[in-house]
Each structure stands twice: as C-alpha cells, then as structure tokens.
Amino acid sequence: MNDVRIDDLPVRDELRGKSPYGAPQLDVPVRLNTNENPYPLPEPLVERIAERVREAARNLNRYPDRDAVELRTKLAEYLTTTSGYEVGVADVWAANGSNEVIQQLLQTFGGPGRTAIGFEPSYSMHGLIARGTGTGWISGPRNDDFTIDVAAAEKAIAENQPDVVFVTTPNNPTGNAVPPETVLALYEAAQAAKPSMVVVDEAYIEFSHGDSLLPLLAGRPNLVISRTMSKAFGAAGLRLGYLAAHPAVVDAVQLVRLPYHLSAVTQATALAALEHTGTLLGYVEQLKAERDRLVSELRATGYEVVESDANFVQFGRFEDSHTAWQKILDQGVLVRDNGIPGWLRVSAGTPEENDAFLDAVRELKKEQST
Ligand SMILES: *Cc1c(COP(=O)(O)O)cnc(C)c1O
C-alpha cells in the first residue's frame, strides 16, 4: 500500500519535501565513498570485545551506567595522552556517534527561534541536525580554494548573530584543516556577537599533519571539541562519539540527553577498543601514508587536489562530476559525489583499493584528453 506518502502525513513544515541523508551503498568491489577505515578490527580486539560484551550481558537486566563514567575516564585519558592537554572525566561526554553529540548540543544551545551557522561546503549533517532540532540554519561562505575567508566569516557571524557556530577541521568533504588562528578569530567574533557556542568538529583529527585544538579549551567555556571513534578507530559500526568541553557544557547536555542513551553493550565495546588504541593508531599511520600517496599520484596524473589532513581526498576538476563519478564506478570503484560542481571525493582505502582507484582515474584522464 503505497498510497500514503510522507507529505500526506501531518509532518512538521520544515521536513516537507526533504530527503534523508545517505550516500548510495552500492555493491561494488572497491567502496571508497564514506570515509570509513578500510581495516577491519584486529582479531585480538575482536576477542576482547566478545569478552567485555559477555561480562556486560550478565547485567543486561539492569540499566547501564547512565553517566558512562568508566568510558569517559578512558576517553579523557586518550585525549590527554594524544594531545598533551590535560582532559578530565568531567570535561568529556559521550553519545551514539558524534552525530548524537551534535544533536544534543543543538537541542541544548539551538532549537526553535535560534540559529546555527556553518561554512560550506562542509559536513552536511550539521545543517540537517539543525533542521531536525528546529534550529535555523545559516550557510556561511568559503573561498574558492575551500579555505575559510576569516573576514567574510566574521561578518556573517556579526550580521546573523548565530547561537551555534560549526567549524569542521579537517573539513569534510574538502579535507583541508582550519588554522587555529582562524578558529580563535571565529570564537572571538561569536563571543562579541551574542555570545554563542563554537563547536569544532574534529572527526578526522587523528589523520591530520597538525595538532588537535583541544588546548584552546583552556579559558573558553563556550568552545566544544567533538570527536568520534567512527574514523580513526575503525569503528563506524560501534556508534560512539564524544566531546571535550568545560564541565558546565557537559552538565548542560544532561538536560536533553535521553536517560541510559549509551547501552551497556556500546560502553563495553568502546572500552575494549580503547584498550587497543596503539594498534588502531598504527593503522592510522598507514592510512596517512596512503592518503599522501593518493594526493601525489592524483597530482602526477594531472588532477587538481585539495591539500588533505583527513583520510580522504577531494579531487577535480571535472566539467561534469556526476559523469566522472559514473565512469569511475563503471570500473568498479565507488567514490563520493557531494554535489560540489567539478569535484569528487575519495576515501583512502587499503593499498590495493587505492591502486584500483588510481588505475580508474588514470584511465578517465586518458579518455578526457583524447
Ligand atoms: C564522519 C563524520 C562524523 C562522524 O559521525 P559519527 O556519528 O560519529 O559516525 C562527524 N563529523 C564529521 C565531519 C564526519 O565526517
């Protein structure tokens, strides 16, 4: 019975005519379109997860630790060791993917009558979650080379007085990192305008040539750094994201989080993964080397490439990126068409997957130049 459609239901006006987020999940040999980590979890970690989940299963008749204290303690330790900036358990909050972290932040600091701004092209979920929480979305500007034009961004913040400012670094889908001075300038502009919250999305920071912006948290209670285990930890299926911020921010999101939102199974699995941080960060080093290889090989083939600090590379330019996407797909390689005219994005895969991708784009180049 397909006679009733979404728009026939009394859905909220801002949801009418919209489509849900999602990249095509096509069954092709080489899938490099969603920035996943191509390496499955190592077997000893799989065993450890099974062990910890078995323990957790014995208590599944009880609700999980609502405050996820053990997990937040381990996440704080991870942040401290990798950044050199002291992060405590009270500064950390975790949820089901950083998308849920962002949703909780928008429920807390955005909402009806309020607005959020991002500098686009950037992670489209920021705008979509804004819409889902009734927060007005403002699309801020970016330069042609995808860097943030600080003066234009400051102006957009001053004019619009948003309640939440998103900065994604390294940026998705373009891959470039935002310099700390830029983030500081936007933070100052946001405080002068309102003051408002600045959310720095560091989903890809482990892949960066540069450092995390965690040290900027000192003395800036309206700054939030969001992180995820979906990319560097190779655990997209786990659904674990987290934030670091002033403890008052962590207290504030308690007002909107669902009780027991993080299942005992999720907490146990994430804790097991954190025991294997060393091995997982070893894969990150391999992926960084492969990312750098993709950048140089694409350039050598004659493509334009955005400098990448992430586990993916934005490349172009194409007269018609959708046709180019299809031609690469016809060779068995799925990349991402984000709808940015002239550009496509490829995630760094295993060396074999990257070779298959490079063969496909070399072929495409030959075709274009004849
Ligand atoms: C992939 C990605 C995330 C991760 O979302 P999860 O819900 O943690 O899987 C967050 N932010 C950006 C910019 C991303 O690209």
Candidate from 102, 123, 168 with most ligand 1 atoms within 8 A of CB, to mutate:
123
Compute the distance from residue 172 Cα to the ligand 1 centre, in Å.
9
Check pocket membership of 201 for ligand 1, CB cut-off 6 A. yes
Per-residue pLDDT at 165 exceeds 80: yes
Distances (CA, A) of 114 to 106, 108, 194: 10, 11, 11
Beta-carbon neighbour count of residue 1 at 10 Å?
3
How confident is the model over 62-73, as pLDDT tens digits?
A: 999 999 999 999
How confident is the model over 6-23, as pLDDT tens digits?
A: 889 999 888 888 888 777
Compute the distance from residue 322 Cα to the ligand 1 centre, in Å.
24
Compute the distance from residue 58 Cα to the ligand 1 centre, in Å.
32
Shortest-distance Cα residue to atom 1 of ligand 1: 203
Q: Which whole number is the average pLDDT over 248-267? A: 97
Instruction: Using pLDDT thresholds of 50, 70 and 90, give the confidence band for residue 367.
Output: confident
Three-class HEC string of 176-188: CCCCHHHHHHHHH
State the pLDDT at residue 192.
96
Distance from C-alpha of 366 to C-alpha of 302, rounded to nearest angstrom:
10
Per-residue pLDDT at 85 exceeds 60: yes
- Domains of the chain as residue ranges with CATH: 6-39+278-369 (3.90.1150.10), 43-276 (3.40.640.10)
Compute the distance from residue 156 Cα to the ligand 1 centre, in Å.
25
Compute the distance from residue 203 Cα to the ligand 1 centre, in Å.
6
Which secondary structure element, helix H or strand E, spans residue 137, and what is its range?
Answer: strand 136-140
- pTM score, two decimals? 0.95
Check pocket membership of 98 for ligand 1, CB cut-off 6 A. yes
Residues in the chain: 370
Check pocket membership of 228 for ligand 1, CB cut-off 6 A. yes
